[in-house]
Amino acid sequence: MEKDFIIAGFGGQGVLLAGEVLANGFMIDNKNVTWYPSYGAEMRGGTVNCTVVMSDEDVSAVQKSSADFIIVLNQASFDKYVSWVKKGGSIIVNSSLAIIKKTREDINYIFVPITKLAQEKLGNIKMSNILALGTLSRVSKLISLSTLEKALHNVIPPHRANLIPKNIEALKLGYEYDLLKV
């Protein structure tokens, strides 16, 4: 089994870090996994994305032109990546920064006001990326919250360890968000 994930958004939204947490999670679950970033000449701004491939066998291609699960944190990414979702796959859309609109019948749309939740419930929009992973855990059923919690410990450096509880809160918030609301 191989599953492909893409996370996309503005530079600065923590897209690459979210991918790194996800990839660490799969590693903790003893899966083969690769993480591959889009990288350009720009250091900041513009859109950024990363691809995470999880597999029971060796991972070959690390960059994909389609994925089973895609998280888009802004409108530009939503516009670009909605056509990349595999048939029967899911797209998690940050409805705080993208208009709720369904253009395909063969995929699942999950609209979550990610930025708004992060701001209102956690007081920090920088938690949006990790919150989205909580939702992904719920939607994909491929990685547990407890694994993602462990992954956070791998990724967040020791001198930033104080941020871990808040990130765990974000994971839970994303996981528990009532998906039927929209």
Partner 1 sequence: MTATITDKKVLMKGNYAIANAAVLAGCQCYFGYPITPQSEIGEFMSGKMQELGRAYVSAESELAAINMTIGACSTGVKAMTSSSSCAVSLMQEGLSYATSDQLPVVLVSVMRGGPGLGNIYPSQGDYFQATRGGGNGDYKLIVLAPSTVQECADLTYKAFYLAQKYRNPTVLLADGLLGQMMEPVEFKPYPYPEIDNSQWKLSGAKGREARIIRSYAPLADNQCVYLEKLFEKYKLIEEQETQWEEIGTEDADIVLVSFGSTARNVKTATKICRQKGLKVGILRPITLFPFPTKRLKELAQSVKMFVSVEVNMGQMVQDVRLAVNGKAPVELIHKGVGVPPAPEEIVKQIEELM
Q: Can you give the binding site for partner 1, defined by CB under 8 A?
A: 20, 23-24, 27, 32-37, 39-41, 58-63, 65, 154
- Nearest distance from residue 27's CB to partner 1, in Å? 5
- Nearest distance from residue 181's CB to partner 1, in Å? 34
- Nearest distance from residue 152's CB to partner 1, in Å? 13
Contacts of 73 (CB under 8 A, 6+ apart): 7, 8, 9, 10, 13, 15, 94, 97, 114, 115, 128, 129, 132
Q: For partner 1, which is the closer residue by CB, 45 or 123? A: 45
Structure tokens at 181: 């609301």
Q: For partner 1, which is the closer residue by CB, 71 or 118? A: 71
Q: For partner 1, which is the closer residue by CB, 37 or 126? A: 37
Q: For partner 1, which is the closer residue by CB, 58 or 105? A: 58
Q: Do 33 and 52 meet the contact criterion of CB atoms below 8 Å apart? A: yes
Structure tokens at 110: 């999950």
- Nearest distance from residue 170's CB to partner 1, in Å? 20
- Nearest distance from residue 156's CB to partner 1, in Å? 13
Structure tokens at 40: 């350009």
Classify strands 67-72 and 2-10 as parallel, antiparallel or unpaired.
Answer: parallel
Cα 33 to the chain's mean position, in Å? 15
Q: For partner 1, which is the closer residue by CB, 26 or 109? A: 26
